[in-house]
Each structure stands twice: as C-alpha cells, then as structure tokens.
Amino acid sequence: MSSPVSHFVSRGQRRLHYSTAGSGPVTVFFEAGLGKSRSTWALVQPAVAEFARTVVYDRAGHGISDPDDEGRGIRRLLDDHLAVLDAATDGPCVLVGHSYGGPLVPCRRPPTADRRPDRVSGVVLVDEVSEIVPPRKMMAAMRGASALYGGQVVLSRLGLLGPLLERSYYRTLSGDALRTAVEEGASVMATRAARQEWRNFRSSFIALHEMGPHIPAVPLTTISSNRIPVEQRPGRDVLGSAHRRTAELSAHGRHVYAARRNHYVQFEEPDLVVDEIRALVRRVTG
C-alpha cells in the first residue's frame, strides 16, 4: 500500500485538509464524528486502503484544517463535506460516517440528496447520530457533553489534555498514529472547534429530525454499539432501534451490532468496520 498523501481544498480564505491512500475503482470516503479529526479512522483507513482508494479529512479547526469563524451548524458542516467530496472523488464512492458524521452523508440529506446521485454507491454508518430519535431523547443521551467539550478547552490550555486522550479515545492506537492523534486532538484550536460544533448540535439536530429520515437508494449498512444487553434492548436501546429502523426502511439495508458497548466501534472493533466496508465495495464492483 502506498503512503498517505495530503491535499488541500480551498473554502474561501481557509483550507480543508484531506488525505488519500490506496487505489481502485471505488473510493471509500470517511466522515468523523463530532469534534474528531481524520485520526478517528487511523485503524480502519490503512486496512481499507489494501482493497480500495480511501479519503479521510479534517473538519474545520481539526487536524491541520484551518478553523472556521462562520459557525459550525449542520449546513456549514455539510457544505465542507461536499467540497472535499467533489475535490477528492470523481467516481463511485462508498461513504462511511461515524456518530455525528452519519447525517453528513450527502445522499441521505435533502436538498443535497440529488446533488451526487451518480457518485454514491453505498453507505456504512457507524453508531450514527440518527434523526429518527426524538430530540428530547437524543439530548438526554448526550447530557454532560457541554461540560466535556468545555472542559477539554481548559485542559488543552493547561497542556493536560494529551495524556487523557492517550488513555481514553486513542488508547488502541500506537506509534505515529497515536502521536498524531494526540498532538492534533489536544490543541486549543481543535478543542475550540469541537466546542463550537457542540454548541450548534441541538438546533442542527432538531432541524434534521424535522426533515425526517432520508434513506438512500443504495446498499446501506448500519453498525450499532452493543451498549444495551440483549435482554434489556426492547424499550431501552433507543439508538440501536433507530439504526435498525433505518436498515428496515432501506431496500438494501443491513443492521449489525458490535460485540462491545464502546461508541468508537472503529477503535475497539476495526475489523468489523473494515469487513462491512469490504462487503459493500465488493457489491459495488460486482
């Protein structure tokens, strides 16, 4: 596999960074969750690049992308996503979104759903933030997030965030991947960008919910964290139920549970995510 190559796309006075690796007739385009950079795919991208071309990118203010002073609502996030998608791809794509990256998959979001019909050939959603969930329940599930994102800004200023990230989010990484993830994730710029995304989350999610679920007419796989024991799932696994409903609404849908309960399935069970992506790539290429 060739080494990752960095590129930049201009967005007015700022630049967005993306990285490509691998080759093949299908491109797998990755979107991170709230407050995370391309490093969220550090275990998955190299494995996928063995059988497909891959693209990961840094949202504004994360990694080595410039910050955005114009707000971080869903429409702003989506416009950046589409700018990178257009710059980095010109053929069939499988789109992969984690958490809050799920709603950014363009073939799922009106009015952009029809803007890339010839490009999106499959979708993999990894424990996505689902607009099927009522906003009240979604915000209840994310209680404590304000303290988390505010606290990260303070810790980054004090130089204390890096060791915490190394022991938490990025504990399954090693070597250069770990160093990059921690150094970039612990910066004041990154924590401010994450906080700004969170501050826009509630209004953005309400807007998503009101538009209702948009199900793509392409093969779709949604992966849920195994956060609720099987015997307790009825009535309690709100997010997993929403993921299952998304798969049911799709003409080509598949829903699977991870073995573990961690939200970051791509760190805890990267092979599962890689296998589901490989299955869609094979389906796309026939």
Q: What is the mean pLDDT of residues 12-34?
A: 96
Q: What is the mean pLDDT of residues 42-61?
A: 97
Q: Residue 23 sits in which domain range?
A: 5-132+213-285
Tell me what percent of the residues of the chain surpass a pLDDT of 90.
Answer: 77
**Residue-level pLDDT at 112:** 45
Maximum C-alpha span of the chain: 53
Which residue's structure tokens are 């630049």?
15
How crowded is the C-beta side of 160, counted as CA atoms within 13 Å?
6
CATH of the domain at 40: 3.40.50.1820
164-212: per-residue pLDDT in tens? 999 999 999 999 999 999 999 999 999 999 999 999 999 999 999 998 7
Q: Is 54 exposed, middle or buried (0-12, 13-18, 19+ CB in 10 A)?
A: buried
37: Cα separation from own chain's centroid: 9
Question: In terms of pTM, does the model score above 0.85?
Answer: yes
Residues 6+ positions from 221 with CB-CB distance below 8 Å = 122, 123, 124, 125, 247, 253, 254, 255, 256, 276, 279, 280
Residue 205 is assigned to a structural domain of this protein = no
Residue 185 is assigned to a structural domain of this protein = no
201-252: per-residue pLDDT in tens? 999 999 999 987 888 888 999 999 998 877 677 778 899 999 999 999 998 9
Residue 146 is assigned to a structural domain of this protein = no
Residue 67 is assigned to a structural domain of this protein = yes
Residue 152 is assigned to a structural domain of this protein = no
Q: Is 235 exposed, middle or buried (0-12, 13-18, 19+ CB in 10 A)?
A: exposed
Residue 150 is assigned to a structural domain of this protein = no
Residue 160 is assigned to a structural domain of this protein = no
Residue 11 is assigned to a structural domain of this protein = yes
Q: Name the residue type at position 41.
A: W
Q: Are the C-beta atoms of 78 and 39 separated by less than 8 Å?
A: no
- Tally the domains of the chain: 1
